[in-house]
Amino acid sequence: MTEQQPQSGSRQRIDKWLFFARVAKSRSLAQERVVAGHVSVNGQKIRQPSHQVKAGDRLEIAMPERDLVLIVKLPGERRGPYEEARLLYEDLTPPREKKPFTALEQAVRAPGAGRPTKKERRALDDLRGEPDWSAD
């Protein structure tokens, strides 16, 4: 059984296109994303993996890390390397906002969260009346 290759003006299932464009790791994951309502085509949320997309359609895909905005250029023929998949769409996703990294933010923790500091441990020992081992 041979599968026909899609022509440039033809339509393709959204789940197959997401898989071929390397937006989803598998076709079943692409189907789950569509059914969950995370995909919009031309501003309309779709919930059917069989929805047909064509060249010129605008896809908005809610991903865990960020939202993607893609314009379909071509239907996919196979799941190939990234360079080949990149030809299937135009990426209009806004760039990520870069947050300045400060080491101080990671060093701060909420009081009582996690392991106590040495200072907190000594205060607990004083409160409990436990012996001070450093006095020996």
pLDDT of 103: 57
Strand-by-strand arrangement of the 44-45 sheet: 44-45, 39-41, 58-62, 67-72, 89-91
Instruction: Count Cβ atoms within 10 A of the Cβ of residue 55 and give its class: 0-12 exposed, 13-18 middle, 19 or more buried.
Output: middle
Residue 46 has pLDDT above 70, yes or no: yes
Mean pLDDT of the region 61-74: 93
Mean pLDDT of the region 32-58: 95
Structure confidence at residue 26 as a pLDDT band (50, 70, 90):
very high
Mean pLDDT of the region 78-82: 93
Q: What is the pTM of this model?
A: 0.67
Mean of the per-residue pLDDT values for the chain? 85
Mean pLDDT of the region 51-67: 94
- In eight-state DSSP terms, residue 3 is P
Structure confidence at residue 125 as a pLDDT band (50, 70, 90):
confident
Q: Is the dihedral of CA 124, 129, 132, 133 positive or negative?
A: negative
Q: Dump the DSSP string for 32-43.
A: HHHHTT-EEETT
For strand 52-53 and strand 12-13, is the pairing parallel, antiparallel, or unpaired? antiparallel
